[in-house]
Chain A
């Protein structure tokens, strides 16, 4: 199975439907197919296809073109420093690179994103090797150096076949895509929209205003947002927002604050919200909190149902999920442990490192979490972020939740800091709305948690460091404390 099959089927069944639109330009599935073939014909000697640009009409063609040519599609982060970028480019050489940047790296052949012509379509056969790699993605590296995750054709196809019905979208449906091409959600969106027949409308530079204007202008029905984006939208339009065409909003890619989703549901009561939890290594979504779950949690007075607004939902039918403690014993419900998943869409493999799956095919997500009695998953944080104070494991999430509830706290992060007595201790960074006394915070934590959770250092910052897709960069905060 090759992901190009998705485009072939779309061309056969709905070739004249609009596939992708950017500003006033749009292409149909047939045109996208021709563009993809043109891209494939550029590949010599198994060069990979790199993509270093914001989203544009070429992006889906580069993804499918790589599949036709039987080489990896490697989207790169255009926000990286020159030095970081060159390091990643050396790792993917030899490659064609679609970019408008000035790049000089051995083995990297650059092609401008506007210079490609699509006059000469060459019919070439394509490989359908199941084990072949379709996409290579550098993980966001919030806890260390970015790793290069490989997603095989079989992983991505399993995800699409497991979650999307072919041509299930109505002709007038469209999805507003504002996540960058190097995010797994940006790749998954191209595949699932092509398979369902839903037009993608691209928004390369997100702002709350540009997003809402485009929803209105293009009569957008669906959208995917990372939490930071939804937060900006509800903050900018706190009172009144009318988006009559918008029916479904999926969100994921980071922890959604409960206050943000609650405000969004109040602001847009007719929209169906879906929380999609997944990792790069799992070919996107593995758990979903669907629209019905959102509404019943929102309206419930039962505290255990109500808190499900902070849950990432239940595993999709094609995924198995378990929680294990550090010794490998399966946790009871409500018991915090490590999240393990299994399923055909799970790759768990990194370039130069190999597979992280255990002998039975289970992948350690390195996320910590627990299941409630009905199997809803709550994610606590990354296992690497655990603070080990004198042998005791402290999860930053529990401290942050308590401090965030303080009325004068805008944002907060707890990280491990070196401590001569305990090995590690809690360092707390607070973004305050106005002056707060350290003692107040310490008393709050002592009262709600226990004294081992009390920070040894509290710092105040104007804002916390997040990456562009809304992930908190704890590494940067830890470095800040270390200096």
Chain B
């Protein structure tokens, strides 16, 4: 079900181990999928079958749409891919700062 998400919210996949954390998101109704099934707010529920084509998620990577209106941090990797209807979601290139501590 489409809903408005807030930064800091944890989402869990229903098809694999994937978990993501919302870092930035526009205040509009969205439906966030992983492996073809809507993601659950909070901790994971019983697993369903993977649907569609999936490249998986990688822990520590940031995922964003083409115009970077939203950003998610993958906190646990899995086999499903993140998708949101109307947006193209992919891995955000890392911008590395010098280490300061």
Interface residues of A, Cβ cutoff 8 Å to B = 1, 5, 8-9, 12-13, 128, 130, 154, 161, 163-168, 175, 185, 188-189, 192, 196, 198, 222, 224, 248, 250, 252, 272, 274, 276, 284-285, 288, 290-291, 316-317
Contacts and interface: CB of A to CB of B under 8 A. Distances in A.
Interface stretch (B48-56, B79-87, B90-98): B90-98
B99 A13 contact: no
A9 B62 CA distance: 13
Instruction: Pick the 6 closest A-B CB pairs, nearest first.
Output: A166-B60, A276-B100, A285-B100, A188-B101, A274-B98, A165-B94
A221 to B, nearest CB: 10
B45 interface: no
A163 B97 contact: yes
Contact of B76 (A12, A154, A165, A185): A12
A288 B98 contact: yes
A76 B96 CA distance: 33
Contacts of B98: 248, 250, 272, 274, 288, 290-291
Contacts, number: 74
Contacts of A284: 100-101
A185 B95 CA distance: 22
Contact of A196 (B8, B75, B99): B99
Q: Quick one: which of B8, B95, B98 has the most chain A CB within 10 A?
A: B98
A318 to B, nearest CB: 10
Interface string B30-43: 00000000000000
26 contacts: A1-B21, A5-B21, A5-B75, A8-B75, A9-B75, A12-B59, A12-B76, A13-B77, A161-B73, A165-B60, A166-B59, A166-B60, A167-B60, A185-B101, A188-B100, A189-B101, A192-B99, A222-B99, A224-B101, A248-B99, A250-B98, A250-B99, A274-B99, A285-B100, A290-B97, A317-B97
A130 B6 CA distance: 12
Interface of B: 8, 10, 21, 23, 59-61, 73, 75-77, 94-101
A285 B100 CA distance: 7
A154 B95 CA distance: 21
A185 B99 CA distance: 12
A162 to B, nearest CB: 9
B99 A12 contact: no
A9 B59 contact: yes
Given A8-B75, A9-B75, A290-B97, 8 more contacts: A163-B97, A166-B61, A167-B60, A175-B99, A185-B101, A222-B99, A250-B99, A290-B98
B76 A168 contact: no
Contacts of A167: 59-60
Determine which residue in B59, B61, B99 has the highest number of CB atoms from chain A within 10 A of its CB, and name it.
Answer: B99
Contacts of B96: 165, 168
Contacts of A164: 97, 99
Given A8-B75, A154-B8, A250 B100 contact: yes
A465 B35 CA distance: 62
A12 B18 CA distance: 12
Contacts of B8: 1, 130, 154
Contacts of A192: 99-101
Nearest to B100: A276
Contacts of B21: 1, 5
A63 to B, nearest CB: 14
A5 B75 CA distance: 8
B58 to A, nearest CB: 8
A291 B21 CA distance: 32
A411 B95 CA distance: 40
B97 A9 contact: no
Q: Counting chain B CB atoms within 10 Å of each CB, which of A1, A248, A276, A288 scores highest?
A: A1
Contacts of B76: 8-9, 12
Contacts of B94: 165, 168
B26 to A, nearest CB: 18
Contacts of B99: 164, 175, 192, 196, 198, 222, 248, 250, 274
A284 B97 CA distance: 14
B98 to A, nearest CB: 4
A137 to B, nearest CB: 14
A38 B20 CA distance: 27
A285 B99 CA distance: 10
B101 A285 contact: yes
A239 B8 CA distance: 52
Contacts of B77: 12-13
